[in-house]
Structure 1
């Protein structure tokens, strides 16, 4: 069954459109389950009816004609319960609804499973047999698995603009929303542009050809080039191969012949497809066909087909003389976008970014936040190859992307764009003003950095220092570990620019979702594995070089603070502190007059929360990494779009932990800062300041918004609000309470946020 399922999934996901996918499903599932009938009913939201959209075994003339209401038949019961139903005699079931035109009379055994995508009911898939007996458990599990795959196919079809419900009601599904992970705040409306790596057949989109003759000429040139390469390879190895092995090169040449792959690609080009798209479609089709063959030898030929396709594609792409022009407001989409790709795009034309892979801590997300470009990461369900050229909305606040927008929703997001633009202009007037509340309480706002682009924006917006400098960024930008001298130069530039303001440098924090290409860490569960201080304590040669570089970089500036990440035990902290003392002593012995900087550690592991007093007594400062602390407390990977909605900084357990940390540390006399995303969220910043955090560190793009809120409230009001929300039990209620309180207090940002939140 598993092998069969894999083949069905591969074939269906490669179908040209939803109609073809449904036809394949019903045929393949009926055969796989040895049933007499397989049918798919899609739920039409406009008419509130289940419509027969594909069948193998019933009357095909009734496809698109027969439908059932939400209270009619076993199909409706499956949809209402949202669980499978498996019965041996459908005709005698209380919910059975007889439809004389479909030809169900001979069939008794009935199995049906709901088709659900992201909690939304899309339809029902059924299997039927003549005999009166229940389908067995493995068959039921098989159909449920197929329905889950089919749900994704239907959702993709909706997003790519296929008129699904229109088959029945004439109304196309609108406002399709895909959930990812918020990468950089902001809302962007623009045109989707697919950014593809070179010679990757899977990433090539369908695109209309502007000059068919030119495309045919490009194809022929590429085919001739590949044939020449294959002939030369065959001639080079002629003396080392037997005749039957040498004949393989002729097989490859024949595949590219006008009577084989070449002719099919030409046919698609003549139909209006560009050369790359035509080639990709043909190669994917042949590859799928060979992959499904029972014969092992023939199945392996799929790899040969793909290799030939990539060779031809590389020549097609190398002959492109003009880069693909971006529209005025482009939203670039890619499988896994990198800073290098972003560097090749004209920033003036760039409105938003969507990365199918990656997380909020990916390089592209960090850079996007620094540049203020709305970004969504981890959109694994988005059919990105089908949406090129379509109008999209990127909601970087929630990590959502909208496709097929209705006029009402489009106008809503346009209003948000205008409000945010006007608010941003208003914020610029506050960049030189102090961050002081109406009742005279100063709030220290610092910045999280890692790139030079962060630095200048941060100073321009009034940052009072660096609360988190991500040293791993410098390591990620190289193909080897940077030397002590190289690190010294990088760190010195940061400290000089911010001097005399403090710069808090976190020691190398790799592992989890941050990997170095030259130092790969592969683990089953990286977030609970070898990361942060655990890595550097196991490699003191890396740790000591970095500490020495930091100390040397601070000479004459004395604004360095060193922070240790991912501490989970007292012994780890003591060992790290010992190494730092050793580095200071060694440099002083070498005649370099370094002094001991302030030393601190991050509270980001739940175990450290309950030993806050012990840690606080050993260091000069504590800094809460609220991102990791929250995900560990809630057992939620915030970078996983399937569970990211469960991640909330406003969870009561998180708020109680944050309050406990700052209260306990202050009892010992140790200052506490916080450098997670919560500090850059104006609502979260209000609670943190009310708790007593000594400084808040955030991305540069958030500085002015947070400052603006503090300048419009009283700290006594914030403390009263904190007391209120600490008595609440639900994260959503807590967040709503804060937002409403800010709105009632006439805080400028609140009105913008309220309008943005009207569409959830």
Structure 2
């Protein structure tokens, strides 16, 4: 059964559309289980019925014509219950509904299992047999297993079917919508540029060839370089290999003949695809065919084919300068997985929007996008991104939607939203030099979170009163090795000088989890509970000391530096970090630098730190809550996992209670407390935090004017009344609804997300 499952999953993974997927499934199961019938009923949203979409064993003329409502037949009952139904004789069941067109009167045994994806019943998978018998437990278990395995494949095939039917040469407008997770608010209209990882044969986008002759020439050049490499290796190993082993290199070379893989690639290029896309299609198609063969030796040739493909692709990418990312005006960058390094490689002036197939709205790439003010959608798992290069799209960062080849009516609606956005932005710009002060006189400093140098200008333009979080890991991420003390000092100095005398809070190197360095990889089974933050730097004092020295030197003559320690869980970590800071300070003073000890604080990011806050107070000068990670750890939700992104809820009652507790504990110790998570960047969340007693709010520069406008239009009394209501509620969805209703009643609705077309 496992072998059958493997073969079916492999076959359907490269099927061109939904119908091909379903055909492969029913044929594979019917043969593999030696049953008389296998059928798939899929739910059709417009008609709200389960339609027979594929069958091996029933009357073929009934496919696409026969359907059942969710209250009809045993198929409807399987969907209603969302659980398997296994019957010896289906005709005697009270829910049995005879479908004459299918010819099913001959069949008695019935086993139906629901096809479920993200809590939704997509359809029902059915097997039937003429004899009266119950399918045994192993058969039922197999059906449940294959249904679970194939649900995602079917969902993906359904979502991408329309796109797949439109070849990459087509310019047809289809207005097709894909759903993801909002990453950064805003709307963008532009053309897609797909970013593919180097030498990843499965991630190459399809593109129309501008010059077919040039693409063929580039491919043949890359091919010849690979042939030369193989011959060189063969000659080098000639004396160490037997004759039959040496012949393996000849097999490699024959695979690259014009009559083999190379010829297929050239033919694909002549059809209009660029060399890299043609190579990817030919290699993956051939590798899949070999992988499904029964003979073990031939199956292994799939690995050889993919290896050859990667070698040729590497040369093609090298010749095309794949490292640089060229954007058109209003470019929408689409990647399998966005990273801070990718953001550092593109022109911010031309970049209109970002889409990431993987990741969630709380990943660091999304946080940086919000900081840069770039509309972003994350976790778009079903997006056929390889086929979108050059297509016009609408990106809706408010709802997490992407529209492919939008219609004129949809374009007009979103252009109106863009116009309204510009009007609101112009109005908010007038608040730049005004304080964030409530109508009854309470003032709340608004700081910014930064990481890129461009954040500095943007932050000052929006009236930031300091930096509440400077992510020092960003300069580390965009380099090929650890930056030197002098390089770090120059980077930090620019941040400090730009804001002096306003405070600049620099978080020490925070890597691990979802933030890795290409030259210092951290591979762990559970990275968010592993070696990250202060744990890494204390284990590597040689790295930590360089950074501390660079920070202290950068602060010379300015005096606005604050140092913050991430991922702290114990007082020992704080003591050790303080000792290293004192050592760095003493060293620099001995070397003649006029440096002073800055304020030192800790980030409250894990539950353990919450309950040691009063002990930390004896060792630090301030605390800052990292609400993103704190929420993640409190709710046990990986914020980068789109499957559970819906469970990451900042307004969860437990999160609000902990945030309130932190503020109260800090007041008891007379310790300044700020918050630098994304909750502070949301106007409603800012009101709650202000009412809890946080001394400063730090956020992305883009949202700062909205938060300031909100604070200036309410009283502290109103904010505390709202907080009191919220703290007595026990459901996150109801709290969210109350926040929206309250913002509307205060006349602040326009500061949230706009009403977008359905």
TM-score in terms of structure 1 length: 0.91
Q: How far apart are 1:675 and its partner, in Å? A: 0.6
Displacement of 1:402 in angstroms is 4.9
The 2-side partners of 1:408 and 1:742 are apart by 30
Q: Is the 8 A contact 1:416 1:752 kept in 2?
A: no
Q: Is the 8 A contact 1:513 1:527 kept in 2?
A: yes
Shift of 1:445: 0.5
Moved more, 44-53 or 572-581: 572-581
Report SS of the residue matched to 2:381.
coil
Larger mean Cα displacement after TM superposition, 493-502 or 375-384 = 375-384
Q: Aligned to 1:376, what secondary structure does the other structure show?
A: strand
CA positional deviation for 1:753: 2.4
Residue of structure 2 equivalent to 1:81: 81
**Cα deviation digits, residues 31-68 of structure 1 (max 9, x gap):** 33332221111222222222211111222232222222
Counterpart of 1:620 in structure 2 is 621
Distance in 2, matches of 1:472 and 1:202, equals 30
Cα distance change, pair 437–340 in 1 and its aligned pair in 2 (3 A): same
Given that residues 108 and 128 in structure 1 are in contact (C-alpha distance below 8 angstroms), is that contact kept between their aligned partners in structure 2?
yes
CA distance in 2, matches of 1:95, 1:153: 30
Q: Which residue of 1 aligns with 2:383?
A: 382
How big is each residue's C-alpha offset from its partner over 1:657-694, in whole Å with a ceiling of 9 and x where there is no partner? 11111122112211111111111111111111111111
Deviations, residues 602-630 of structure 1 (Å, cap 9, x unaligned): 11211222333332343221111111111
Q: How far apart are the structure 1 equivalents of 2:339 and 2:600?
A: 34
Aligned to 1:662: 663
Q: After the TM superposition, which of the residue ranges 628-637 and 730-739 deviates more from structure 2?
A: 730-739
- Aligned counterparts of 1:519 and 1:316: Cα–Cα separation in 2: 28
| Structure 1 residue 552, shift from structure 2 partner | 2.6
Superimposed CA distance per residue, residues 387-409 of structure 1 (whole angstroms, 9 cap, x where no aligned partner): 44555443334545455868877
- Cα 1:227–1:477 change in 2 (3 A) is closer
> Bigger CA drift: 712-721 or 151-160?
151-160
Q: Deviations over 1:292-334 (max 9, x none)?
A: 2233222111111112223444455556599998565432212
Range 433-442 or range 472-481, more displaced: 472-481
| Greater CA drift, 708-717 or 247-256 | 247-256
340-349 or 135-144, which deviates more:
340-349
SS of aligned partner of 1:21: helix
Task: Give how far 1:289 is off.
Answer: 1.4
Aligned to 1:531: 532
Q: Which residue of 1 aligns with 2:293?
A: 293
Equivalence for 1:37: 37
Confirm or deny: 8 A CA contact 1:393 1:402 kept in the other structure. Answer: yes
- Aligned-residue CA RMSD (Å): 3.1
Structure 1 CA distance for aligned equivalents of residues 682 and 704 of structure 2 = 10
Alignment match, 1:430? 431
Q: Which runs of 5+ in 1 are unaligned?
A: 166-171
The structure-2 alpha-carbon separation of the partners of 1:507 and 1:123, relative to structure 1 and needing over 3 Å to count, comes to same
Per the alignment, in what secondary structure is the counterpart of residue 123 of structure 2? strand
2:699 is equivalent to residue 688 of structure 1: no
Q: Which residue of 2 aligns with 1:396?
A: 397
- The more displaced of 517-526 and 353-362 is 353-362
Equivalent in the alignment of 1:484: 485
Deviates most, 472-481 or 77-86 = 472-481
Q: Is the 8 A contact 2:192 2:391 kept in 1?
A: yes
Aligned partner of residue 358 in structure 2, secondary structure: coil
Q: Does 1:134 pair with 2:129? A: no
Q: Which residue of 2 aligns with 1:652?
A: 653
Alignment of 1:353-372 (within 5 A): 353-358=354-359, 364-372=365-373
Change over 3 Å in CA distance of 1:757–1:443 after alignment to 2: farther
TM-score by length of 2: 0.91
Asked if structure 1 preserves the Cα contact closer than 8 Å seen for 2:159 and 2:382, the reply is no
Cross-structure match for 2:168: none
Contact 1:112 1:127 (C-alpha < 8 Å) held by counterparts: yes
Alignment partner, residue 190 of structure 1: 190
Post-superposition offset of 1:12 = 0.5
- The answer (yes or no) to whether the contact 2:185–2:753 under 8 Å persists in 1 is no
Please tell me whether residue 104 in structure 1 is matched to residue 104 in structure 2.
yes
Matched, 1:544 2:545: yes
Secondary structure of 2:747's aligned partner: coil
For 1:124 and 1:163, locate their aligned partners in 2 and report how far apart those are by CA, in whole Å.
25
Q: d(CA) in 1 for partners of 2:708 and 2:388?
A: 39
Following the alignment from structure 2 to structure 1, what is the Cα–Cα distance between the partners of residues 487 and 544? 15
- Matched residue SS, 1:495: helix
Equivalent residue runs for 1:110-129 within 5 Å: 110-129=110-129
CA pair 141-175 structure 1, distance change in 2 beyond 3 A: farther
Separation in 2 of the partners of 1:411 and 1:150? 39
1:61-80 to 2 correspondences below 5 Å = 61-80=61-80
Inter-partner Cα distance in structure 1 for 2:710 and 2:585? 42
Q: How many Å apart are 1:584 and its aligned residue?
A: 3.2
Matches within 5 A, 1:464-479: 464-479=465-480
Q: 1:515 to 1:138 in 2, by over 3 A?
A: farther
- Contact persistence 1:357–1:379 (CA under 8 A): yes
Aligned match of 2:16: 16
1:25 aligns to what SS in structure 2?
helix
Give the drift of 1:233: 4.7
- Give the direction of change, closer, same or farther, for the CA distance of 1:324–1:482 in structure 2 (3 Å limit): closer
Q: How far apart are the structure 1 equivalents of 2:727 and 2:704?
A: 26
Residue number in structure 2 paired with 1:169: none
Q: How does 1:520-669 map onto structure 2 within 5 Å? A: 520-669=521-670
d(CA) in 2 for partners of 1:32 and 1:509? 52
- Does the C-alpha gap of structure 1 residues 725 and 133 become closer, same or farther in structure 2, counting only changes over 3 Å? same
Deviations 1:381-430 (A, max 9, x none): 33322444555443334545455868877665444333222211222222
Q: Retained in 1: the 8 A contact 2:201–2:313?
A: yes
Matches of 1:721 and 1:68 in 2, distance apart?
49
Aligned to 1:46: 46
Cα deviation code 1:271-293 (max 9, x no counterpart): 55444433322221210111122
What is residue 754 of structure 2 aligned with on the other side?
755
Q: 1:577 to 1:259 in 2, by over 3 A?
A: closer
| Shift in alpha-carbon separation, 1:681–1:596, aligned structure 2, 3 A | same
Corresponding residue SS for 1:511: coil
Q: Compute the displacement of 1:530 (Å).
A: 2.0
Structure 2, unpaired ranges of 5+? 166-172
Cα gap change, 1:467 to 1:343, in 2 (>3 Å) = closer
Tell me, in whole angstroms, the C-alpha distance in 1 between the residues paired with 2:632 and 2:731: 17
The separation in 2 between residues aligned to 1:655 and 1:394, in whole angstroms, is: 32
Q: Deviations over 1:513-566 (max 9, x none)?
A: 122233322222221222222222333333333323322322221112121221
Aligned equivalent of 2:513: 512
Match of 1:168 in 2: none
Could you say what secondary structure the match of 1:43 adopts? strand
Question: How many aligned positions are there?
Answer: 751
Distance in 2 of aligned mates of 1:586 and 1:345: 40
Post-superposition Cα deviations, 1:83-116, rounded to whole Å, max 9, x if no partner, equal 2222222222221111233232333222222223
Preserved CA contact (<8 Å) 1:510 1:531: yes
The answer for the alignment partner of 2:147 in structure 1 is 147
